[in-house]
């Protein structure tokens, strides 16, 4: 998933993630348009193949789309995202984004078990699904032209932004 504003280099990261996941035998999905896609579900969550990420290294931004989502800031929106992720068997995410995207991802991981229990009790997911997905594991990759994230020397997008500014 790429979330928030786009940045040069996101496609390279998406390609690396998809191909490394496939190489390791994982079923890899893209969540298109960031957290909006997770909340909307359906065709926004798509299975990825090796060829889906061919020829994208020279393209700017992110081929899987990105968006900011006001609905994700609400508990109801995050709960819908959990339902859609569990429907696809997803409980591991790699999120590429800035401070807002990564903070939101952390909030969701902390609320995950609560939402899973509520969805089970409401009959939205089965007890078996709830048991199979007790927690959300997230890897955050900083994708921001701002380069303002503590703990990293260079964010995805910073080098290209600085190069463009100095041209």
What does pTM read for this prediction? Answer: 0.85
Residue recorded with tokens 């509520």: 118
Identify whether 146 is a catalytic site residue. yes
pLDDT at 119 over 70: yes
CATH number attached to the domain at 10-157: 3.40.50.450
Cα separations (Å) of 39 from 1, 75, 85?
12, 11, 9
Asked if pLDDT for residue 132 goes beyond 60, the answer is yes
pLDDT, tens digit, for every residue of 18-69?
999 999 999 999 999 999 999 999 999 999 999 999 999 888 788 999 988 9
Average pLDDT over the chain reads 89
Between 156 and 85, name the one with better pLDDT: 85
Query: Where are the chain's structural domains?
Result: 10-157
Q: Which of 6, 146, 148, 159 is catalytic?
A: 146
């Amino acid at each position: 998933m790429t979330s928030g504003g786009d940045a040069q280099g996101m496609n390279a990261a998406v390609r690396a993630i998809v191909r490394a996941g496939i190489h390791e035998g994982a079923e890899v999905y893209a969540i298109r348009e960031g957290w909006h896609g997770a909340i909307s579900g359906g065709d926004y969550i798509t299975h990825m193949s090796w060829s889906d990420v061919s020829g994208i290294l020279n393209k700017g931004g992110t081929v899987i789309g990105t968006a900011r989502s006001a609905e994700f800031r609400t508990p109801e929106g995050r709960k819908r995202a959990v339902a859609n992720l569990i429907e696809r068997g997803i409980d591991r995410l790699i999120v590429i984004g800035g401070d807002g995207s990564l903070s939101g991802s952390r909030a969701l991981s902390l609320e995950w078990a609560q939402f899973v229990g509520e969805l089970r009790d409401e009959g939205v997911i089965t007890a078996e699904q709830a048991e199979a997905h007790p927690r959300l594991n997230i890897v955050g990759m900083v994708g921001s032209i701002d380069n303002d994230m503590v703990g990293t020397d260079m964010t995805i997008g910073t080098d290209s932004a600085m190069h463009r500014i100095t041209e």
